[in-house]
DNA sequence: CTGATGACAGTAC
DNA sequence: AGTACTGCCATCA
């Protein structure tokens, strides 16, 4: 079983307008403690990817992308699908993905 | 094998 | 609120 596949598959289950943290995705993928592996798996994905990588955030709703360009893209994409921000952070309340029920 | 690194997370100050 | 430190784990020189 390839961890990267599990992670990408999990990220694709996040509905539009919802967000999740790296740690949460790792847990949902059955890989508790591999939050960093999630980031590693998403690194390299771009605007062309079918994977909604923009819905994955750091703890507390912070954008954890080192590249400012990509970080800005993530913010724009999220705001575009209706995700609300509080300054530099995403308001996780009411927008955090519920692993149990999709949508 | 050892040490450094990183789209993380939690805690402490 | 911002910085620092620790725990974590896969990857790589």
**pLDDT (tens digit, 9 = 90+) per residue, A1-36?**
788 999 999 999 999 999 999 999 999 999 999 999
Is residue A37 in some structural domain? yes
Host H or E run for residue A57: strand A56-57
CB A75 under 7 Å to nucleic chain B? no
**What's the domain range around A49?**
3-90
Is residue A102 in some structural domain? no
* Predicted model pTM: 0.93
CB A20 under 7 Å to nucleic chain B? no
Is residue A101 in some structural domain? no
The total domain count for chain A is 1
CA–C1' A44–B4 (A): 21
Residue A22 CB contacts under 8 Å (≥ 6 apart), including other chains = A35, A36, A38, A39, A56, A57, A58, A59, A64
Residue A5 sits at the vertex; the CA angle it makes with A26 and A98, to the nearest 5 degrees, is: 40
Is residue A97 in some structural domain? no
CA–C1' A24–C12 (A): 27
Q: Do the Cβ atoms of A95 and A17 come closer than 8 Å?
A: yes
Q: What is the pLDDT of residue A99?
A: 87
Is residue A9 in some structural domain? yes
Is residue A96 in some structural domain? no
Is it the case that residue A101 has pLDDT exceeding 90?
A: no
pLDDT tens-digit map of A52-88: 999 999 999 999 999 999 999 999 999 999 999 999 9
Host H or E run for residue A10: helix A3-11
CB A35 under 7 Å to nucleic chain B? yes
Place of tokens 């609300």: A84
Is residue A98 in some structural domain? no
Is residue A36 in some structural domain? yes
Residue A24's CATH number? 1.10.10.10
Contact positions of strand B to protein Cβ (< 7 A): 6-10
d(CA A5, CA A2): 5
């Amino acid at each position: 079983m390839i961890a990267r596949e599990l992670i990408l598959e999990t990220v694709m289950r996040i509905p539009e307008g919802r967000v999740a943290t790296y740690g949460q995705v790792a847990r949902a993928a059955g890989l508790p403690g591999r939050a960093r592996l999630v980031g590693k798996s998403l690194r390299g994905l771009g605007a062309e990817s079918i994977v909604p990588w923009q819905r994955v955030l750091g703890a507390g709703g912070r954008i954890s992308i080192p590249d400012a360009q990509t970080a800005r893209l993530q913010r724009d994409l999220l705001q575009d699908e209706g995700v609300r921000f509080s300054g530099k952070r995403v308001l996780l309340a009411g927008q955090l993905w519920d692993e149990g029920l999709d949508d």
